[in-house]
Chains A and B, each alone.
Chain A
Amino acid sequence: MTGYVMQRLVLMLVTLLAIITLTFFLMHAVPGGPFVSDKMMAPEIQAAINAKYHLDDPVWLQYLNYLKGIASFDLGPSFKYAGMSVNEIIAEGLPTTLKVGVLALICVVSLGVPLGIVAALNRNRWPDTLVMVVATIGVAVPSYVIATVALYLFALRLGWVPTFGLDDWRGYFLPVFALSGFWISFIARLARSSLLETLQQDYMITAKAKGLKPGQILFKHGLRNSLIPVVTVLGPVVANLITGSFVIEQIFALPGIGRHFVLSITNRDYTAIMGITIFYAAVLMVMIFIVDMLYLVLDPRIKYREAR
């Protein structure tokens, strides 16, 4: 088991290196650069900037230098925000993104799973229909539509919550709602179908034939088995939520890292693109690793052995 974990960690580093390499060369293959902008620059200034950021070095040398920085957890200076390093950009935006993301995650788990259970247990009756209609809308309607409509309704019309920012605790409602809406719906649908499948299993009839009470049957025998697919999805969901959303952060004017993700690309801010990509990839891999470890707890049939 320890061997397996070690193997996984090494594999994660290799994956990360592959991602870094791929992103790095793809990025440099795209025409343009951070300082090729609309306003004309004097050639001397251009040359000076290129020299300062080593942009006139051969690409392979830039790559090696970048890797050297990564090895010491230095993601390099931002090309667009003078005087700021990518580490600082992430450190600055992460707390906001984390707060909203974790709240959204709590909503996803504490609403999505129970709603799915209620729907499954009331299959084809009104609670099921209601949950499924709402969840289908939640999955189908993009988050920016939800965000805009909610903003108009609750902030502008009703004035219950502020229109932007997180200074007021009420400011969290709409971003968290907009961010988690899709995933609550998604998880509710998944939990429902998974539980319905579990309820069909022979061992559920056995549990009933043993005279167990409905609560015991559902929670002890039904839920654990039906949560396995939900946990599988939750890994990437967590990664998605805590790395922020460009759209949501833009609409609610939140100073998170999600918007840097997109802005850095249009800015050709090489180091920021790299840094945020690496950050996202690392979070995703760690979450998938955690999910794989959770399987061990949930399903005793799963055993990991190191490859030889």
Chain B
Amino acid sequence: MTAPLLSVSDLRTSFFTSRGEVQAVRGVSFELRPGEILGIVGESGSGKSITCMSLLGLLKSNGRVIGGSALFEGQDLLTLDDRDLRRLRGDEIGMIFQDPMTSLNPTLTVGEQVIETILRHRRISRAAARQRAIELFELVRIPSAAKRLRSYPHEFSGGMRQRVMIAIALSCDPKLLIADEPTTALDVTIQRQVLALLKELQSRLGMAVILITHDLGVIAETADRVLVMYGGMVMEEAPVRRIFARPSHPYTRGLLASIPDLRDGAHQRLTPIPGSPPDMRHPPAGCPFAPRCTHAMAQCANVLPPVYDVEPGHGSRCWLHHPEAPRVEGVNDRELA
């Protein structure tokens, strides 16, 4: 197995507000190998975006990383000084955001927004940077690339703007691309095009991708491996096939059950997970999902379960995987066999 490109361990991030400390990320660990697509899935407030913003030092001013490490090619992103981190951002690590409507500066041409990124990180002439921008636009399939460089963001559709964002993120051949809900704000048909483009570019350029989404469909189509986050923690981690074939954490199972299945017929009701996510100002001492979990036991609310290896490469943070736990069909019924 190759050495990991990024190795995050026990990342903790909090926001300090007038109403107290919000513990957004509470000890997240994961590894990312070169060329791998890691999907991070979870509902709003689960800490998935904050995890990535913490890595790049893009937290709002009241947010602070309070612990952990994130080794990117051997250097810890969390202790890097501002100057060195700025050199990495946009160069080795590219990032694209959820809303392409607001992520581009409305008063600069899209060409300029690509070119300035290249000029920031490469010692080349403006003309060469422009040439590179045209190539990038062609790469992300923006028609009549050279002409479109002079357009402003408002002259583009949402899908085209997200292509511009991708071009910016890829402008310096990053080793890692972080895509934070890249298709959430787009029409369904455009979503597919953008995802297909991302996947194609990933395999062509060989970069690693962290894909943050709340859409399991996106994960299924794109990711190699999946982290399921809840309450600022990783609940389950597994290769993408395993997550869909044998989800081991009750939360993951709940997420999968809540996806409407068209084969069930039109009148089938959706299966929601009852309850609401925990208040991260006062996170529960035990498993954050316990209050909503149908299998919760007495100790779940009080003691945080460790991550059990259900199988090599498949971890699940749930007491049900404890050898003495009661058997629950589909979760741990085969473990003792």
Contact = CB atoms under 8 A, between A and B. Distances in A.
Contacts of A213: 86, 120
Interface string B99-129: 1001111111100000011001100000000
Given A212-B116, A216-B116, A301 B86 contact: no
Report the contact-size class of chain B (Cβ under 8 Å from the partner). 20 to 34
A221 B153 CA distance: 14
A267 interface: no
Given A208-B89, A210-B116, A211-B89, A301 B152 contact: yes
B154 A301 contact: yes
A38 interface: no
B158 to A, nearest CB: 14
A205 B103 CA distance: 8
Interface string A194-238: 000000011101111111110010001100110000000000000
Given A211-B86, A211-B87, A211-B90, A206 B104 contact: yes
Interface in B88-102: 88-91, 94-95, 97, 99, 102
B229 interface: no
A88 interface: no
A221 B165 CA distance: 16
A306 interface: no
Nearest to A210: B90
A43 B126 CA distance: 84
Contacts of A31: none
Contact of B117 (A202, A210, A221, A225): A210
Contacts of B86: 211-213
B154 A225 contact: no
A211 to B, nearest CB: 3
A210 B116 CA distance: 9
Interface residues on A, range: 20 to 34
B41 interface: no
B66 interface: no
Nearest to B117: A210
Contact of A209 (B89, B105, B108): B89
Q: Which among B102, B104, B106, B107 has the highest number of chain A CB atoms within 10 Å?
A: B107
A301 B58 CA distance: 28
B89 A210 contact: yes
B208 to A, nearest CB: 17
Contacts of B56: 209
A208 B82 CA distance: 11
B168 interface: yes
A225 B152 CA distance: 14
B105 A212 contact: no
Interface of B: 56, 58, 86-91, 94-95, 97, 99, 102-109, 116-117, 120-121, 152, 154, 165, 168
Given A211-B90, A220-B116, 13 more contacts: A205-B97, A206-B168, A207-B105, A208-B89, A209-B58, A209-B89, A209-B90, A211-B120, A211-B121, A216-B120, A225-B106, A298-B107, A300-B106
13 contacts: A202-B97, A202-B99, A202-B103, A203-B102, A206-B168, A208-B58, A209-B94, A210-B90, A210-B120, A211-B91, A220-B116, A299-B107, A301-B106
